[in-house]
Amino acid sequence: MATATKNVQRIIGLKELRENMGTYIKHAEQGKSFTVVRRSRPIFKLVPVDEWGDEGNWETLIDFRKEGGMPIEKFYSALKRFNAKNK
C-alpha cells in the first residue's frame, strides 16, 4: 500500500531556531519548510532554495573554500565584474 506524503505545517520558535540552526539547515536541505514565530506571531518562513524557483540563478563569484583567503582587491574586482555583467 502506497502512502502519500502529507504536507505538515512545521512551526518553530525563533529561540529554538537560533539554538539549533545546524539542525534546521539540515532539515531545509532535505526539503522541509518551517514557519518561525516570535511571541506566538509568525515572522518569516525558512524554505529550501528549490522552493524559490530560482536555484539555477546562483552564480559563484569566488569560492573561499578553495581560495584559502585572498587580497581584498581581488574580491572587489570579481564583485565589479559581476555587477557590470548584471546591469
pTM, whole model, 2 decimals? 0.54
Res 4: pLDDT: 47
44 and 72 both lie in a single domain: no
Tens digits of per-residue pLDDT, 40-73?
999 999 988 876 666 566 677 667 777 567 788 8
Res 43: pLDDT: 95
The larger pLDDT score, comparing residue 44 to residue 5, is at: 44
CATH number of the domain where residue 30 is located: 3.40.1620.10
Residue 45, classed as helix, strand or coil, is: strand
- Hunting for cell 546591469 — which residue is that? 87
Tens digits of per-residue pLDDT, 12-47?
999 999 999 999 999 998 989 999 999 999 999 998
Work out the burial of residue 33: count CB atoms within 10 Å of its CB; fewer than 13 is exposed, 13-18 middle, 19 or more buried.
Answer: middle
Structural domain including 64 reads: 56-87
Would you say residue 19 lies in a domain? yes
